[in-house]
Amino acid sequence: MYRFRHQRPVYLIDYACFRPISKYRYPKATVLEHALLAPFYDVSSAQFIERILERSGLGDETNAPASVLYLLPYGSIDDARDEVEIVLFSAVDDLLSKTRINTDAVDILIANCGAFSPTPAIADMIINKYKLRNDIRVINLSGMGCGAGLISLGLARDLLQRMRWGSKALVVSTETTTPNFYVGKKRSMLLTNILFRMGGFAALVSTSRTKARFRLMKVVRILTSAQDMSYRCVYQEDDDEGHRGVNLSKDLTSVAGDTPRLNIITTGRHFLPTIYKFKYLFSITLTKMFNAKISSYTPNFCMAFEHFCIHAGGSAVIDSVQKGLNLSNKLAEPSRMTLHRFGNQSAASVWYELAYIEAKGQMQQGDKVFMIGFGARYECTTAVWLCVEPSLSGTDGPWAECIHRYPVDVARAASKPNSNS
């Protein structure tokens, strides 16, 4: 009866991020040069790209797949598959090396990629490469955007509850940019070319605490796609000239502000000290019942969590969450530095941020980590981790060769951001 009513604890055995090499470097100067010389852009598009680059928060060491590095991108389905293999096989190889487990020990495989869904599926590519068992449980997710990595972990947690104790789930995630490069002139669809970069992660979770590094304490997901405005705020479509891309609606800013607020309130209810809950309830009561014109109370989330991993979707996204949670610049540092070094890597970005915290030697046993990711249609997912065993060597991940240069002073544009950004 106890096991029926209570979930088993789920642990993160370890994780690994794709570590790009110099041949895939995609500096801002190259992006701008392509904008000026490519035949499918006009002068107005090039000027728009330049303005967004200036305030994007990206550095000059971000990476893109080989097909995008050319003046005329040639992204075929084979090129997209190559990108998936380069990213995910590298991350899984690193993970297997770190955990030293046999591939036969993997009971569940969950793979996700937002905008690329080939046949055979990406999960099948992993199975074929590593010769996983023929009775493995397999789920392949697509179209779920930048929050899919945390959604996958919540799904792995639920599946592990129905399997024998000690079962293991392998979760892999990437966002393939090759087939989604936009060659039109619509500004709201050009943003994905500017911000998204190459990246991915692999994580191994289990109900066994053996060799575990983190314990999954909570996963909260808020979905608002029932509302038309939310449903279409990130929408893959063809422009008026027939060029396919992802349209980031002008309503995205308002939707992206409301949805995380609902999620954060739900998450905070489980972890914030009681006094902060009462203060928040009191401020809401004054505002709603007595129409009091006071600013709503923002609880001090630093009392509940030591570290924050905010999806590096862009400077505006990080600013919004930092302000909403009333975080210091130090706590938002992993997100800004990840955006600067690696760009927007979709669902993988929060794992690069966790790797940054560990590479800096800031993770201690008993620390709680708050991860927040966003996705199309519009969705917000948060996950809370408890550190069980800090990394003995935090410099063997994606930050190994550059952590000594961070943090850097990210230049910010003083002008008011464009409404589409």
Type of residue found at 401: E
Q: One of 146, 233, 309, 380 is an active-site residue; which one?
A: 146
Q: One of 112, 193, 307, 380 is an active-site residue; which one?
A: 307
Residue 274 structure tokens? 């009681």
Q: Annotated catalytic, 128?
A: no
Give buried/exposed letters for 93-109 (b at 16+ CB in 10 A, else e): ebbbebbebebeebbbb
Q: Annotated catalytic, 134?
A: no
Q: Annotated catalytic, 329?
A: no
Q: One of 34, 311, 380, 420 is an active-site residue; which one?
A: 311
Residue 173 structure tokens? 């995630």
- Interatomic CA distance for residues 204 and 99, integer angstroms: 9
Q: Annotated catalytic, 270?
A: no
- Interatomic CA distance for residues 91 and 311, integer angstroms: 19
Question: Could you identify the residue written with the tokens 């004054």?
Answer: 286
Q: One of 63, 113, 140, 340 is an active-site residue; which one?
A: 340
Long-range own/partner contacts, residues 353-358 (CB < 8 A, 24 or more apart): 353/309, 353/310, 353/312, 354/15, 354/307, 354/309, 355/15, 355/17, 355/394, 355/397, 355/398, 355/399, 356/399, 356/403, 356/406, 357/307, 357/309, 358/390, 358/391, 358/394, 358/397
Give buried/exposed letters for 55-85 (b at 16+ CB in 10 A, else e): bbbbbebbbbbbbbeeeebebeeebbbbbbe
Alpha-carbon dihedral sign for residues 195, 147, 339, 94: negative
- Interatomic CA distance for residues 43 and 94, integer angstroms: 44
Residue 124 structure tokens? 């099948």
Question: Could you identify the residue written with the tokens 């793979």?
Answer: 111
Q: Are 320 and 312 in contact (CB under 8 A)?
A: no
Give buried/exposed letters for 338-374 (b at 16+ CB in 10 A, else e): bbbbbbbbbbbbbbbbbbbbbbbebbeeebbbbbbbb
Q: Quote the radius of gyration of the chain (alpha carbons, Å).
A: 21
Closest listed residue to residue 64, CA positions, set 207, 225, 178, 214: 178
Q: Are 184 and 124 in contact (CB under 8 A)?
A: no
Q: One of 113, 344, 380, 387 is an active-site residue; which one?
A: 344
Catalytically active residues, by annotation: 146, 307, 311, 340, 344
